[in-house]
Amino acid sequence: MYEFDWSSIPGALPFLWQGMKLSLAITAVAVAAGMVWGTVLAVLRLSPVAPLSFFAASYVSLFRSVPLVMVLLWFFLIVPQLLRDLLHLSHAADFRVASAMVAFALFEAAYYSEIMRAGIQSVSKGQRSAALALGMTPLQAMLLVVLPQAFRNMLPLLLTQAIILFQDTSLVYVSTLAEFFGAAYLVGNRDGRLVELLLFASAVYFVLCSAASGLVRVLRGRVAV
């Protein structure tokens, strides 16, 4: 029978907290940048200009067809190389955090774009017509009238996607960058206590994510227009 020994966790908490802060930072940057870029993609996708709409559609379907873990792996392999070559930086320069943030933002934008597209389409046509009739330019109508409503309609889905993104930050593990999951793995490996550390990390994810999902459920009832 396996003897559990949880004694290596208390001492490792500061290191794990560092990891959690990195996970949250990656999540925050990726959610913010991904939402902005995703909204731009959604607007392009719905634009009457064929090349723009084609570009957005291809971008979204490309990123939605490949696994995130592969995108991350390539970002860690190729992008630092590319940046060093382009900017003539020393090999010591570490781009892994920036690479992770950029990779997540670009990847998640494809998913946010689909949510925002549905959101924009959920706003009734009369809203845009009314805005145009009031003398707004199409851009103003989009920014001031359509998008705020689309955003509000889609808020629960956008937040659910953020929770999924937070879970996906564990995949940064492939870069040996110590975000929360990677940190737990490192500690577990070092102390020969992988079983306890993996269970602990999973429990933390479970508590955080189910609490956040619960909040989203409450919110869903409140923001409905």
Partner 1 sequence: MDLRIFFTPVPTGETTYLGWLLAGLRTTIALSLASWVLALALGTMLGIFRTVPNRPLRAFAGAYVEVFRNVPLLAQLFIWYFVVPEIVPGGHWFKSIDPFVQAFLTSMACLALFTAARVCEQVRAGIEALPRGQKSAGLALGLTLPQTYRFVLLPMAARLIVPPLTSEMVNIFKNSAVCSTIGLLELAAQGRQLVDYTAHAYESFFAVTVLYLLVNAVILVVMRAVESRTRVPGYLGSRK
Tokens of residue 12, six digits: 């490792």
Q: How far is the CB of 90 from partner 1 (least distance, A)?
A: 20
Three-state DSSP state, 95: coil
Q: 9-17: long-range contacts at Cβ-Cβ below 8 A with a sequence spacing of 24 or more?
A: 9/187, 9/196, 9/197, 9/200, 12/183, 12/187, 12/191, 12/197, 15/178, 15/183, 15/186, 15/187, 16/180, 16/183, 16/184, 16/187, 16/201
Q: Which one of 46, 57, 167, 220 is in contact with partner 1 (CB under 8 A)?
A: 167
* Residue 108 interacts with partner 1 (CB under 8 A): yes or no: no
Mask 49-88, x = binds partner 1 (CB under 8 A)? -------------x-xxxxxxx--xx--xx--x-------
> Which of residues 18 and 160 has its CB atom nearest to partner 1 in the complex?
160
Q: Which one of 11, 17, 202, 224 is in contact with partner 1 (CB under 8 A)?
A: 202
> How many angstroms separate the CA atoms of 18 and 15, rounded?
5
Q: Which one of 122, 124, 137, 213 is in contact with partner 1 (CB under 8 A)?
A: 213
Tokens of residue 78, six digits: 């190729």
* Residue 124 interacts with partner 1 (CB under 8 A): yes or no: no
**Interface size with partner 1, residues (CB under 8 A):** 34
Q: Where are the alpha helices (DSSP H) in 123-179?
A: 125-133, 138-140, 147-168
Given the rule CB under 8 A, which residues bind partner 1? Answer: 1-2, 62, 64-70, 73-74, 77-78, 81, 167-168, 170-171, 173-174, 181, 185, 194-195, 198-199, 201-202, 205-206, 209-210, 213
